[in-house]
Amino acid sequence: MAKHINLNRLAYFTAVVETRSFTAAAQRLSTTKAVVSQQVARLEEEIGTTLLIRTTRNVHATEAGLAFYARCITILREAEDAFDALAERAVKPSGLLRITATFDYGISVIVPKIAAFTALYPACEVDLSLSDERIDLVSSNIDMAIRVGWLSDSTLQARRIDSFRQILVASPQMAPAVSHLDSPRALETLPFVANSALRHPLHWNFSHGEDDPIAVRLRAAVSIDATLGVLAAVQAGAGLSVLPDYIAAPLIGSGELIHVLPDWSLPIGGIFVVFPAARYRPAHARAFVDLLSTPAKRCYCR
């Protein structure tokens, strides 16, 4: 068996056959005739067959050369098509985009974005997986994950696409107990719905203007490991809790929740999009991130 086949030489050979000239072939390939001559010579050497008969004035293919040429052009045509298809895919978003996001942010922010995205790029399909677990992007073949809070795993490529405020809320039925509060200290005796998905569900730093933040340790009446569950508990009157603005703001606006201690603020969190460690991002992923990064016209608080 021959060592290895060098497919790159096929292009030189076909160019010579088609132009019936080494010089013209060199021009078409924008190289020199010496290179074309050498490449074709090596091709013939590799396959041990004379493909072209050259005189100083004329070039034409042998019988074997003609048969080989016929195969070459289909091979080259197919290769070109394959590369073109990739290039098109790289430029024009298409195909299936697999996303994972947390329940809360996914439902309230990502789903509307996806709707806008598929309207913009009809060639794209989106598969959204809502889960608060940290799924392995590679083994699940996921193009991007939307993660809320603070990044822990640093091996993956991430990009901050948004930030969120955390808001202390209560149900309107608790208004009598919370509307007169003027310091976070007073919260320590009130029932609190803990979000056990957080790293420190009961420890909160409240800031007021330029003053130093006040660290408060709350008392968990209920612990739930999903933000939307916390919301339900709060709405059911189980206690106060902290919710991200993208959840709380609409409900505060509609009066379904009340903003407790509105002059005090909690740390700002980040929304990150995380990618598998791929060198080149597919076009649909790039396009979706662009859409995510465009400033939404939402203005939850204030």
Partner DNA sequence: ACATACTGTATGTATTTTCTATACAATGGG
Partner DNA sequence: CCCATTGTATAGAAAATACATACAGTATGT
Interacting residue ranges for DNA, rule: CB under 7 A: 6, 8-9, 21-24, 31-35, 37-42, 52, 54-59, 155
How far is the CA of 110 from the CAs of 16, 18, 173, 239, 292, in angstroms?
Answer: 56, 54, 31, 28, 8
Closest of 248, 107, 102 to residue 170, by C-alpha: 248
CA–CA distance, 182 with 80 (Å, rounded to integer): 71
**Which of the 8 DSSP states describes residue 110?**
I
Q: Which is nearer to a second copy, 7 or 232 (CB)?
A: 7
Chain residues 117-176 in contact with a second copy, contact rule CB under 8 A: 138-139, 141
Of these, 89, 92, 208, 259, which contacts a second copy (CB under 8 A)?
Answer: 89
CA–CA distance, 196 with 224 (Å, rounded to integer): 6
Q: Which is nearer to DNA, 31 or 129 (CB)?
A: 31
* Closest separation in Å from C-beta 218 to DNA: 31
| Amino acid symbol at 157 | Q
Q: Please, what is the end-to-end C-alpha distance for the chain in angstroms?
A: 76
Q: Which is nearer to DNA, 6 or 183 (CB)?
A: 6
Determine contact, residues 221/209, Cβ cutoff 8 Å: no
Which bin fits 20, alpha (ψ -120 to 50), beta or left (φ > 0)? Answer: left
Q: Which is nearer to a second copy, 8 or 154 (CB)?
A: 8
* Closest separation in Å from C-beta 25 to DNA: 8
Of these, 87, 115, 236, 296, which contacts a second copy (CB under 8 A)?
Answer: 87
Give the per-residue contact string, 227-266, with a second copy (x = CB under 8 A; - = no): ----------------------------------------
C-beta atoms surrounding 10 within 10 Å? 20
How far is the CA of 171 from the CAs of 73, 89, 245, 256, in angstroms?
Answer: 73, 49, 15, 7
* Closest separation in Å from C-beta 239 to DNA: 35
Give Cα 149 distance to the centre of its chain.
Answer: 17
Q: Which is nearer to a second copy, 9 or 113 (CB)?
A: 9
* Closest separation in Å from C-beta 225 to DNA: 23
Residue 40: name its binding partner from a second copy, DNA, none (Cβ under 5 to 8 Å by kind): DNA
Closest of 209, 265, 257 to residue 232, by C-alpha: 257
CA–CA distance, 148 with 282 (Å, rounded to integer): 23
- Span from 40-48, 146-154, 201-209, 240-248 in contact with a second copy (CB under 8 A): 40-48
Interface with a second copy by CB under 8 A: which residues? 2, 4-8, 10, 41, 44-45, 47-50, 53-55, 58, 60, 62-64, 67-68, 71-72, 74-75, 78-83, 85-87, 89-90, 95-96, 138-139, 141, 276-282
